[in-house]
Amino acid sequence: MATDPDCIFCKIVAGELPATKIDEDDRTVTFMDINPGTRGHALVIPKQHARDLLEIDPDDLAAVAQSAQRLAKRMPQALGADGVNLINSCGSAAWQTVFHFHMHVIPRYDDDTMRLPWTPGDGGAADEAAEALRP
């Protein structure tokens, strides 16, 4: 299994750093975020080190998504959540601070203080961007 000796998430997987784990399977570990946006905010990571969304093995990505969904389904009843956000940040410009792929699973409550991290725009250059992104 690929690991990065300097990666805090790899150290959690190896049991070298503590974490409040809430789920684990053969490919993923789920644990509570130490700087939560809301009550119940958790992280799902692959056990295999991958820097970000651009590097993660597709099977590990699928496993993370399945683990995130499994957790999200428990949040409404277990925590009284009114909704759930799944968030991934890829690269420092996109707010990634730990460079081991991870998915935030954030229970949302009607009265929580989290807000959109962007101001919605008019989508004026959507056609140009779509053309550039087509394979």
What residues are annotated to the active site? 102
Closest CA to 22 of 12, 33, 13, 31: 31
Residue with tokens 């509570």: 32
- The amino acid occupying position 30 is T
Four-residue CA torsion sign, 16, 47, 66, 135: positive
CA–CA gap between residue 90 and residue 28 (Å, rounded) = 18
